[in-house]
């Protein structure tokens, strides 16, 4: 069997593939180890021309090579900050109002894809299979094909794929989707995303799609399927239990003085619905006075993509809302919203989830939302908390025993919180059991192995 080559904009550090590190890195590293392979992408650093051109930097970990390159300032601005995160990210999350398009940024996006592909070519062998991740790298297979690479290449989109009418707002949509058709397998998080891609091909590209997802478009044949990304639920459960009495949990518990805890964790991104969520929590305190002084929302929100303008705005709005709501409902010994602008280790988060009565996960749009899955997995099955989840998170297709909400309906979310906080133990247990079964049925290993079997053209299982 040929080696596996994983390509993503962010590459896990070798240290992140061990123990309690992020599940995605652990799962991908596991697959890389099985066949030997390479994990290739951006180092996360902006560097000088000389350093960028000298790359990639190679770090060996057994049979796996981590190969990373730095980006020069102009490439970072046009490829990452510009076309990826100021055009594609908002449009793919149905926020055309926040999308900006610059022709030069798109040229930079294609140029960096071509440059990265050229760097990878030197590391490839003829029987390698190549698995590319996410919207930063849509033209990557096209660029490899132009370098004469005929290997099997697959693509997995972690974000939503927008309905064609929304996608048409990206001026070079046709060229972009034509490039996407250079892959052999294209994977999506949900049926809706896959359906939107098929719709685009049929309505706007004279493509044909068979019932099995075999596609002919732009003179290429490829296949699509839905591969819902998961977690390893039993590992998370063990980790959350193991850390139950660690210092950070005890400190939080003590500071709550018996109050109920609602937990939310998101990158500080406008797609996560944070402002609407704060307003829903305010509405709960407004409508249900018995909860004033008796429930605390802890929102962990590490900053992300802080040099993109729309991210500066969301941060500003959120700070305003937190201050306003806290000013309205705080007491001398009570602050309703604890808003923490910093990153916590994943292992710490899992034990905080276990300590809370409600997980409040309400993105306006989200490819999957792993936090929702982690929240369920981290619960004590004897006394589980309740997940309140947006119907627009990919995770809602599987976690059907969560309390589902529309994140635009502030009153509806406040009612859902009230219901979750008052939910009897028997109902909480039953919902938890159903959600846990869904997580076990489709864990992170299943996501990975199904995709790789399809890419290799082998039967799964």
Active site positions, annotated? 158, 366
Residues in region 272-331 near ligand L263DTV3 by CB under 6 A: 304-305
Number of residues that bind ligand UDP (CB under 6 A): 14
d(CA 86, CA 95): 10
Please report whether residue 193 would count as binding ligand UDP according to CB under 6 A: no
The radius of gyration computed from the CA coordinates of the chain, to the nearest angstrom, equals: 22
Q: Which of 128, 366, 443, 454 binds ligand L263DTV3 (CB under 6 A)?
A: 366
Measured from the CB of residue 350, what is the shortest distance to ligand L263DTV3 in angstroms?
Answer: 16
Q: Classify the C-alpha dihedral 7-9-10-14 as positive or negative.
A: positive
d(CA 57, CA 81): 23
For residue 338, the partner it binds in ligand L263DTV3, ligand UDP, none, with Cβ less than 5 to 8 A by kind, is none
User: Please, which residue, 47 or 358, has the CB nearer to ligand UDP?
Assistant: 358
Measured from the CB of residue 25, what is the shortest distance to ligand UDP in angstroms?
Answer: 10
Pick the stretch among 314-322, 364-372, 418-426, 452-460 that binds ligand UDP (CB under 6 A): 364-372
Interacting residues of 255 by C-beta distance below 8 A, sequence separation 6+: none
In the chain, the largest separation of any two C-alpha atoms, in whole Å, equals 69
d(CA 291, CA 295): 6
DSSP tag of 2: P
Question: Which of 132, 459, 56, 417 lies closest to 260, judged by CA?
Answer: 417
Number of residues that bind ligand L263DTV3 (CB under 6 A): 13
Per-residue x/- marks for ligand L263DTV3, 156-175, CB under 6 A? --xx----------------
For residue 10, the partner it binds in ligand L263DTV3, ligand UDP, none, with Cβ less than 5 to 8 A by kind, is ligand L263DTV3
Please report whether residue 265 would count as binding ligand UDP according to CB under 6 A: yes
d(CA 123, CA 118): 10
For residue 389, the partner it binds in ligand L263DTV3, ligand UDP, none, with Cβ less than 5 to 8 A by kind, is none
Q: 326, 335 in Cβ contact below 8 A?
A: yes
For residue 346, the partner it binds in ligand UDP, ligand L263DTV3, none, with Cβ less than 5 to 8 A by kind, is ligand UDP
Please report whether residue 367 would count as binding ligand L263DTV3 according to CB under 6 A: yes
Residues in region 214-253 near ligand L263DTV3 by CB under 6 A: 229
d(CA 148, CA 411): 56
d(CA 456, CA 52): 32
Let me know the angle formed at the C-alpha of 429 by 426 and 434, rounded to the nearest 5 degrees: 125
Starting at the earlier edge strand, list the strands of the sheet with 214-217: 57-61, 64-71, 37-46, 4-10, 129-133, 153-156, 185-188, 220-226, 214-217, 208-209
51 Rama class: left (phi>0) / alpha (psi -120 to 50) / beta: alpha
Q: Which of 134, 184, 193, 398 binds ligand L263DTV3 (CB under 6 A)?
A: 134
Measured from the CB of residue 86, what is the shortest distance to ligand L263DTV3 in angstroms?
Answer: 12
Pick the stretch among 32-40, 45-53, 117-125, 370-378 that binds ligand UDP (CB under 6 A): 370-378
Please report whether residue 344 would count as binding ligand UDP according to CB under 6 A: yes
Pick the stretch among 171-179, 344-352, 367-375, 402-410 that binds ligand L263DTV3 (CB under 6 A): 367-375
Please report whether residue 95 would count as binding ligand L263DTV3 according to CB under 6 A: no
Tokens of residue 127, six digits: 């029987």
Interacting residues with ligand UDP (CB under 6 A): 22, 265, 267, 300, 302, 343-344, 346, 349, 368-371, 374
Interacting residues with ligand L263DTV3 (CB under 6 A): 9-10, 134, 158-159, 229, 304-305, 366-370
């Amino acid at each position: 069997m040929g080696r596996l080559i994983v390509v993503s904009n962010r590459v896990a550090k070798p240290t992140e593939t061990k123990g309690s590190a992020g599940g995605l890195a652990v799962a991908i590293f596991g697959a890389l180890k099985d066949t030997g392979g390479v994990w290739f992408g951006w180092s996360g650093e902006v560097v000088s021309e000389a350093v960028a051109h000298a790359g990639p930097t190679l770090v060996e970990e057994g049979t796996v090579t981590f190969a990373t390159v730095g980006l020069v300032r102009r490439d970072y601005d046009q490829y990452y900050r510009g076309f990826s995160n100021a055009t594609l990210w908002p449009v793919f999350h149905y926020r055309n109002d926040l999308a900006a398009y610059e022709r030069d940024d798109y040229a930079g996006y294609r140029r960096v894809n071509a440059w990265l592909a050229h760097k990878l070519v030197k590391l490839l062998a003829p029987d390698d299979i190549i698995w590319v991740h996410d919207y930063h790298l849509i033209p990557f297979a096209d660029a490899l094909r132009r370098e004469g690479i005929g290997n099997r290449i697959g693509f997995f989109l972690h974000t939503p794929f927008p309905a064609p009418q929304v996608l048409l707002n990206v001026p070079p949509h046709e060229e972009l989707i034509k490039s996407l058709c250079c892959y052999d397998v294209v994977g999506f998080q949900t049926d809706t995303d896959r359906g939107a891609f098929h719709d685009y091909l049929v309505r706007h590209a004279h493509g044909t799609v068979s019932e099995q997802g075999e596609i002919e478009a732009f003179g290429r044949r490829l296949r699509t399927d839905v591969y819902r990304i998961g977690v390893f639920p039993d590992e998370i459960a063990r980790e959350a239990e193991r850390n139950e009495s660690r210092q950070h949990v005890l400190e939080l518990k003590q500071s709550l003085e018996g109050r109920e805890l609602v937990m939310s964790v998101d990158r500080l991104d406008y797609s996560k619905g944070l402002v609407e969520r704060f307003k829903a929590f305010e509405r709960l305190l407004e409508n249900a006075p018995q909860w004033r002084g008796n429930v605390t929302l802890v929102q962990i929100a590490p900053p992300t993509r802080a040099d993109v303008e729309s991210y500066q705005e969301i941060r500003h709005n959120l700070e305003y809302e937190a201050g306003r709501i806290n000013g309205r409902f705080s007491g001398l010994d009570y602050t309703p919203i604890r808003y923490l602008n910093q990153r916590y280790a994943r292992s710490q988060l899992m034990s905080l989830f276990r300590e809370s009565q409600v997980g409040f996960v309400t993105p306006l749009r989200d490819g999957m939302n792993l936090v929702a899955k982690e929240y369920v997995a981290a619960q004590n099955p004897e006394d589980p908390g309740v997940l309140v989840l947006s119907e627009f998170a990919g995770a809602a297709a599987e976690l059907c025993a969560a309390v589902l909400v529309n994140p635009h309906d502030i009153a509806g979310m406040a009612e859902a919180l009230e219901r979750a906080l008052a939910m009897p133990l028997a109902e909480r247990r039953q919902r938890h059991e159903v959600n846990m079964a869904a997580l076990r049925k489709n864990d992170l290993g299943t996501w990975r192995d199904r995709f790789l079997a399809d890419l290799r053209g082998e039967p799964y299982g």
